[in-house]
């Protein structure tokens, strides 16, 4: 099973990568900035507290009644609430924090004569509490700083980082899209070209242009591969064609001299007569084989020799059937035209079409007695040509194989007397395909085999 699309996977990987990286970066930034900001602030607040405590101590020494006004001015100058506990009494100008806000831990520590600090959260607000004992005057000073403004800054930072992370993720996806397209496009071009070549467009090559080095290399090796392949195919086709050509001359001499011997048959001994008959029969098989080989080599060599004409189908079939039957001295099968088809035209190479009909009729003769009927009908945009015989039919598992070159099915083994070239039906399929048609083997309604040729119907003027 193929894995999911490479493009999707690239896209997903890029997006996820960007998301993870940007989130990590944002979190680290947030935590770091928060730490620095808070500790800076606490540092400042702590210093302020000690300064304030010193002021309070001095005031308590010199003029205790001035304490409230001092506390007021301190609260004005800083954002702190100041609580003073002197001689077991709470003293505060503050409207915000109260004594109960001071955590017990601080109270205890300060009570023991130590300065203490703690960050607490009260009703969703962050508070920084500093306690400073002033033992000389039996006083303790507590200052409560609001960290809220800092929190606002941090929230803004968090929002900015979030937006940044989202933007980075989107850019990652965009980058993934670009990269995947760039990475996949050459692949798509290669697969499109390969598909064309598979369809027989052997001149297809990848465009060599400005491209990445890797793509350039792929392009070059792909083109080189196709060229080698085509060269190889051409060489094979040429070889078969050359061999057949070379065989033609001696074969011509053989058939001509055998025919002369046949003229003098009566002068020969019975053994010589029998030998001559065997020779003549096999020469005829040999001749068909050479012709078929040559034809198949030509069809392998490409469509260059195709001469396509658009002709009335029924007339074409009639001529081809008559020609095939007469050339091979076979009984002419009945031609059944189903419907008014006089105006129906098909595009074929006449000679190759004749070959198709001839081979089908000869095949029926060799393996199934004879063709009994040739039916012409129209099915939608197609012309259907059925060649039916009254033989044993073709086993289901051989219906595709019969079109393979040199395939010998059951019928061929059972009837050793009939000797085809093994290329007839392969040629038929090659030729029908070259007319953009199809051919299949099925059962005829009468029980024999049916070869069904389907050709596209051409409209007038096409």
DSSP string, 23-45: HHHHHHHHHHHHHHHHHHHHHHH
The reply to whether 408 sits near other proteins by the rule CB under 8 A is no
* Interface mask toward other proteins for 286-305; x: CB under 8 A: -x--xx------x------x
Nearer CB in complex with other proteins: 48/291: 291
Question: How far, in Å, are 68, 200, 347, 426, 429 from residue 433 at the CA level?
Answer: 109, 11, 12, 11, 6
Chosen residue from 156, 326, 334, 436 binding other proteins by CB under 8 A: 326
In the complex, what is the shortest distance from the CB of residue 449 to other proteins, in angstroms, rounded to a whole number? 25
Distance CA 53, CA 131 (A): 9
Residue 351: CB atoms within 10 A of its CB come to 12
328 binds other proteins (CB under 8 A): no
Query: Does residue 153 sit in helix, strand or coil?
Result: helix
Smallest distance from the beta carbon of 325 to other proteins, in angstroms? 9
Q: One symbol per residue from 371 to 390: x for binding other proteins (CB under 8 A), - otherwise; what is it? A: --------------------
Question: Could you tell me which stretch among 37-45, 218-226, 250-258, 397-405 binds other proteins (CB under 8 A)?
Answer: 250-258
Assess contact for 368 and 388: CB atoms under 8 A: no
Toward other proteins, which CB reaches closer, 252 or 334? 252
Please identify, using beta-carbon distances, which residue of 326 and 433 lies nearer to other proteins.
326
For position 221 contacting other proteins by CB under 8 A, the verdict is no
Q: How far is the CB of 328 from other proteins (least distance, A)?
A: 11
Residue 337 engages other proteins in binding (rule: CB under 8 A): no
- Find the shortest distance in angstroms from Cβ 414 to other proteins: 29
Of the residues 89, 100, 263, 269, which one makes contact with other proteins according to CB under 8 A: 263
For residue 308, with 0-12 CB atoms within 10 Å meaning exposed, 13-18 middle and 19 or more buried, which class applies? middle
**CA contacts within 13 A on the Cβ side of 328:** 26
Q: How far is the CB of 198 from other proteins (least distance, A)?
A: 27
Dist CA 291 CA 243 (whole Å): 11
Query: For residue 300, what are the CA distances in angstroms to 122, 234, 296, 400, 434?
Result: 90, 8, 6, 20, 11
Residues within the interface to other proteins (CB under 8 A)? 245, 247-257, 259-260, 263, 287, 290-291, 298, 305, 307, 311-312, 315, 319, 322-323, 326-327, 345, 350-351
């Amino acid at each position: 099973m193929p894995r999911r699309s490479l493009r999707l996977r690239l896209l997903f990987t890029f997006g996820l990568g960007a998301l993870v990286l940007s989130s990590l970066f944002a979190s680290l930034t947030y935590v770091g900035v928060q730490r620095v900001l808070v500790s800076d602030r606490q540092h400042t607040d702590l210093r302020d507290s000690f300064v304030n405590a010193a002021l309070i101590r001095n005031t308590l020494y010199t003029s205790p009644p001035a304490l409230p006004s001092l506390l007021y001015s301190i609260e004005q100058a800083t954002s702190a609430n100041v609580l003073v506990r002197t001689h077991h009494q709470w003293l505060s100008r503050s409207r915000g924090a109260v004594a109960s806000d001071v955590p017990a831990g601080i109270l205890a520590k300060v009570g023991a004569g130590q300065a203490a600090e703690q960050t607490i959260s009260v009703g969703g607000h962050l508070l920084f509490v500093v306690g400073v004992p002033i033992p000389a005057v039996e006083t303790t000073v507590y200052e409560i700083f609001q960290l809220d403004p800092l929190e606002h800054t941090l929230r803004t930072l968090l929002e900015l980082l979030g937006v940044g992370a989202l933007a980075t993720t989107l850019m990652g996806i965009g980058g993934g899209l670009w990269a995947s397209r760039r990475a996949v496009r050459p692949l798509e071009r290669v697969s499109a070209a390969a598909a064309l070549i598979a369809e027989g467009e052997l001149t297809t090559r990848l465009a060599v242009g400005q491209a990445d080095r890797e793509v350039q290399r792929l392009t070059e090796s792909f083109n080189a591969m196709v060229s080698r392949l085509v060269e190889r195919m051409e060489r094979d086709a040429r070889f078969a064609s050359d061999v057949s050509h070379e065989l033609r001359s001696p074969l011509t001499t053989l058939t001509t001299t055998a025919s002369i011997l046949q003229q003098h048959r009566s002068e020969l001994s019975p053994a010589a007569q029998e030998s001559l008959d065997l020779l003549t029969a096999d020469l005829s098989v040999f001749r068909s084989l050479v012709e078929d080989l040559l034809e198949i080599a030509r069809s392998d060599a490409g469509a260059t020799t195709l001469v396509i004409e658009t002709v009335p189908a029924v007339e074409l079939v009639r001529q081809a059937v008559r020609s095939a039957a007469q050339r091979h001295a076979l009984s002419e099968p009945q031609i059944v035209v189903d419907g008014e088809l006089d105006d129906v035209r098909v595009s074929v190479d006449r000679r190759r079409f004749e070959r198709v009909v001839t081979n089908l009729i000869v095949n029926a003769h060799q393996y199934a007695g004879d063709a009994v009927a040739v039916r012409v009908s129209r099915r939608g945009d197609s012309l259907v040509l059925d060649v039916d015989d009254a033989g044993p039919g073709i086993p289901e598992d051989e219906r595709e194989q019969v079109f393979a070159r040199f395939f010998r099915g059951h019928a061929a083994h059972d009837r050793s007397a009939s000797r085809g070239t093994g290329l007839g039906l392969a040629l038929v399929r090659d030729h029908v395909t070259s007319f953009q048609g199809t051919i299949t083997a099925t059962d005829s309604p009468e029980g024999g085999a049916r070869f069904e040729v389907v050709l596209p119907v051409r409209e007038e003027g096409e």
